[in-house]
Structure 1
Amino acid sequence: MIFKLRCLCFSACTLFVSASSISAPVPASGVAPLELRIAVVSDGRADYFARLLEESLKLIQQPYHIQYVQDIPARRMWWMLGRGDINVFYGMQSKEKDNDKQLVPVRNSLTNGLIGQRVLLIRRSDTEAFLQVRSLGDLKQTGLIAGFGAGWGDTRVWKASGLPLYEHAAPWNTVYAMVAAGNRHVDYLPRGVIEVLAEARAHPELVVEQHLLLAYKADFGFYLSPSVAHYRPIIERALKAAEASGLKARLIDEAFGADIKALNLNRRLRLQLPAAPDQR
């Protein structure tokens, strides 16, 4: 594991500045800094969530120290969170997680529901098949199979809709080649509008489907280890301040605005999927 530290000094600083321990000054009021250890991935997917957390804490002048633990498999991250090896992680919100005694949910939806708006990564040869879809029934009748990671909450949405799906247990990055191959029991990848174009750029063997927008209630949230449950009201206050001030909207636009605009969501056929049974 690689540990990267960033601290709040109430001034601009660069991301992941040091691998050594740095102490942030504590304000004269004596407010103790939050000591956070958060799991992230080095491909940039976590950048928005890390920035939202940090900028929100800065907004309310809450000092903090953050250690970034990089590139741990997702299932292991949740195990580490329960143990307290890390103490904050972000993931899809669900009643199952909220009721888990080893997790403390932070009550805030981090992308304003954008992760529940899905555009498809497909094989170019399947373009016409998706253009013919006018309803969930049509999509089911194509027989095309959606791909998800094993255990993802999205699988419950597809099952509730009666849509065929495949759960990928191997490292996620191998699934793109499986879709492209056309003979591996997975045909398309429903990806959030905040991630699909970045993935398409990284995987030119697939294309972004231009006709459909599949929508359902879903979002990411922060989850804490029970050992820092007392941080929850502070982080919730910081995130609410970020919403009220417009900071959160600005960060979403800076991170994802150009890609969302390029997807032409208003011109797509919107298919509403039922929420998963354990969604909030």
Structure 2
Amino acid sequence: MLSILVCTHTYAVSLTYPRAESDSDSRYQYDWEVLRTALEKTSARYGAFEIKQSQHQMPPARVSFEMLRPNSEINLFVRATNAELETSFLPIRIPVDRGLLGYRIFLIRPADQEKFASVKSLDDLRKFSVGQGRGWADVAILTAAQFNVVEGSSYDGLFPMLKLRRFDFLSRSLDEAWREYDERHLEHNFTVEPTLLLYYPLPRYFFVRRDADGERIAKRIEAGMEIMIKDGSLIALFNQYKSDLIKRAGLAQRRILRIPNPKLSAQTPLNRSELWYDPVKGK
């Protein structure tokens, strides 16, 4: 999605989000569609808008650096939250993916399936090393839960690292795992582990700068997302992008292992059940 233009060439708000780390990285398509819809829902009240992506690809550390620069090319990003991010930037505290990111399944080498099928507890799972991207929110969560975490310097590099046995499994959300399997398994020879599900609460938010312009943008996005929750369009988009991948995950056949997320802020809206996907209820 290179650019989305609405109405005229005079925009009440112009948003630039970071280009994904890889040209083959499709993880963010749903997020930007949610953003576009939230802005559309508020056009009558707030005016026309423009959304575009940055010229350059940006890993998470570069995104954070650029967002702290007043005249940076980008003025918004989406990421799994933690207390430090919420101090540095202004979050819109509505989980973009309804908390789906916290439901983790694993990409593994096919030859290791029997080993993972024998896992019955967290202690069993801790015997395996887990791969994650550098700067991902999951690193601190998994480390606090006493997992051996191996960080990769780039998103694309994680898949050959798995193949080369730099770690034993790559922990991914339900939808990420199957999309990455479809896109990359032939090249890197991995499979989706079918018996385990790791859960920790991990909301994914839109973030803007903590300044007057950021507050104005956040107010509009929040208003639009609240409309989407009320009129059902957020769930409709979620189902459009995620439902087939969730079904493929086969949750009923998986053993659920849970760990806490010590990095959640006290403002996390855990008491608003309508914001969170429930795999037991399937909605």
TM range (shorter): 0.7 to 0.9
1:278 CA displacement: 4.5
Amino acid at match of 2:16: R
SS of 2:106 mapped into structure 1: strand
Contact 1:148–1:154 (Cα < 8 Å) also in 2: yes
Q: 2:15·2:52 contact (CA, 8 Å) conserved in 1?
A: yes
Which residue of structure 2 aligns with residue 193 of structure 1? 174
- Indicate yes or no: 2:69 matched with 1:69: no
Q: For residue 127 of structure 1, give the secondary structure of its aligned residue in structure 2.
A: helix
Unpaired runs of 5+ residues, structure 2, are: 269-283
Calculate the aligned-residue CA RMSD, in Å. Answer: 1.8
TM-score relative to the length of structure 1: 0.84
| 2:187 is aligned with 1:206 | no
Percent identity over paired residues? 25
Q: Cα gap change, 1:248/1:278 in structure 2, threshold over 3 Å: closer, same or farther? A: closer
Q: CA deviation at 1:174?
A: 1.5
Residue among 77, 81, 84 paired with 1:89 = 77
1:1-280 equivalences in 2 (<5 Å): 4-9=2-7, 23=9, 33-41=12-20, 42=23, 43-61=25-43, 62=46, 63-70=48-55, 71-84=57-70, 85=72, 86-100=74-88, 103-140=89-126, 143-168=127-152, 170-182=153-165, 184=166, 186-204=167-185, 205-225=189-209, 226=211, 227-278=213-264, 280=268
Task: Output the CA distance in 2 between the equivalents of 1:151 and 1:52.
Answer: 24
2: CA distance, partners of 1:258 / 1:104: 32
Between the aligned partners of 2:94 and 2:184, the Cα distance in structure 1 is: 32
| Post-superposition CA distance 1:60-113 (Å, at most 9, x none) | 33421122115222211121112141111101111111111xx22112111111
Q: Deviations over 1:166-219 (max 9, x none)?
A: 112x2221121121122x2x1100001121111112222100000001000002
Contact 2:82 2:263 in 1 (8 A): no
CA distance in 2: counterparts of 1:262 and 1:224, whole angstroms: 34
Query: Which ranges of 4 or more aligned residues in structure 1 deviate by more than 4 Å?
Result: none
After TM superposition, the score normalised by the length of structure 2 is 0.84
- How far does the alpha carbon of each residue in 1:190-249 deviate from its partner, in whole angstroms, 9 at most, with x for none? 001121111112222100000001000002101112343222111101011111111111
For 2:274, the equivalent position in structure 1 comes to none
